[in-house]
Structure 1
């Protein structure tokens, strides 16, 4: 099977590749064409997932299809962007029709769930890797960024932390657990739900935002640096699921929430006056700390003592000695 037949067979015919809002021209030409309403800006983000680094190999291709798109779309949620389209660059060592069909089905399921259309990409032979570029739109001046956090703001997250990190031993077959514990953790790992609606609700309210991919401590460092402030995280306020606590216990669960990564919930700073209206409207806003003058990120215990760990999250190119 050649490259173009592969694209036609497994991707171009998928429901998510049939155009939609904001897509003037999709698959089939040298470029896709996206249409933006007047006064809106294009938000763009690219994510690469490499076999053996970002996901176990082999793994269920349907679940991988869901996950690979969800982690990319989460960046649009972090910017408060409305999703439009995505491209896929697929590198695969062989043409395995069953694998490609299952991967395309998972990709399509997540695309329809997120309201984002496949508009192009590329295929090539080599070690298995996936590069997805997502496109969204946001009114000029309303994008959520990492800049803007102010002393006195609350540090918040959009839901439970640590579930995906807790699932990793299950994904790697290092541990087992009863279905009532394993299933919610594995669902969070393989099918994270980008918080697109929350991102839209935070426009004009949050002073800074990003999604949690490398761990709360590590990702909050980006907000602290961009905003030139100090973020204080209160260990006892971390929102943890009952499944995670049952699987790991309190201490290990809190470590997973702080440094495990792969949560894909939003972390954001919020003026205190905005908290109650958002919670009253049903948004899953959980306060985990505060913004102060200074720099960096610190973790404190209930007594206010600094207990910040040395390793704060995942880094691809951390030097080892």
Structure 2
């Protein structure tokens, strides 16, 4: 194997960047905000007037955050989607991102597919690659994404209040179900598509500015991420309504109902928004009200049988 930056590599680090990651046309679409993009020691950027910057960063490792046999185009798409979902949860409009790519060897076919998938989502989301780094090592993708929100209008995890309505931006469970199917050798179907290419809810996040009291994206699972929101909102609790949890038979049709509920509440990798609205606030189209915020700490479930049970906030753990 050869390093992307070693003298005997078919292309050195800078040639790889120019060939696969330097796109003046995309930068031009950002107007005057990108003063200087890839190719120098650092980018020079001009933030939008009257707005605040929102910045996030995620690292994805082969074999842990995406399967070793996942198509390179899907890896590029998925790794950017994870970051864009964080911007969506803040109500931000995407602006720019930096890419740090660690490669075990130079594989130009892989790089071409990776950049194609990544730029497919970047173009659709209006975000420009403005710099980064390529080095040698175990395959890893680290992306730092930036967006903007009008001053004082960013969505936070910390604003929920008792009696607020808890809402989901769609049907959860497909991310973990897709992973389980992938591990069984399945490569087609709606759950697989959701796992390979999650759709960050940027438009929904922006529409919630001035309406939602709190918001988070579902990366670790509904229970785990709801618990993060409750903790940040002063140690509140929640009562979920089992009958209101949305089921999508197209995605979860091959799972028993009990397994569907488990996937919906504990499965990660959905990258949908979970948010709270004041009572009486209209619920956006395609979203679902699943419960209410309570003053009593802890998460409880009102079952269809009329019982109440305490739920443990389990989800994806990085360590």
Q: Normalising by the residue count of structure 1, what TM-score does the alignment of the two structures yield?
A: 0.91
Q: What's the counterpart of residue 249 of structure 1? A: 256
**Which deviates the most, 161-170 or 39-48?**
161-170
Say if 1:102 and 1:140 are closer, same or farther in 2 by CA, change over 3 A: same
Map 1:126-275 → 2, pairs under 5 A: 126-172=137-183, 174=184, 176=186, 182-228=188-234, 229-275=236-282
**Deviations along 1:78-108, whole A, 9 cap, x unmatched?**
0000110111100010000000100000001
Say whether 1:291 aligns with 2:298.
Answer: no
**Which deviates the most, 187-196 or 15-24?**
15-24
**Deviations along 1:176-212, whole A, 9 cap, x unmatched?**
49xxxx4211111111111111111100100000100
When the two structures are aligned, how many residues end up with a matched partner? 306
Q: What's the counterpart of residue 306 of structure 1? A: 309
Identify the structure with the greater helix proportion. 1
Q: What's the counterpart of residue 8 of structure 1? A: 18
Distance (Å, rounded) in 1 between the aligned partners of 2:107 and 2:57: 25
Q: What's the counterpart of residue 45 of structure 2? A: 34
In 2, are the aligned partners of 1:232 and 1:298 still within 8 Å (CA)?
A: yes
SS at 2:309 equivalent? coil
Q: Unmatched 5+ residue regions in structure 1?
A: none
Distance (Å, rounded) in 1 between the aligned partners of 2:135 and 2:240: 44
Say whether 1:58 aligns with 2:61.
Answer: no
In 2, are the aligned partners of 1:146 and 1:226 still within 8 Å (CA)?
A: yes
Q: Unmatched 5+ residue regions in structure 2?
A: 1-10
**Deviations along 1:104-143, whole A, 9 cap, x unmatched?**
0000101011111101111110000000011000011100
**Deviations along 1:6-51, whole A, 9 cap, x unmatched?**
1111111475455514323221222222222332100000011001
SS at 2:263 equivalent? helix
Query: Which residue of 108, 128, 136 corresponds with 1:117?
Result: 128
In 2, are the aligned partners of 1:185 and 1:244 still within 8 Å (CA)?
A: yes
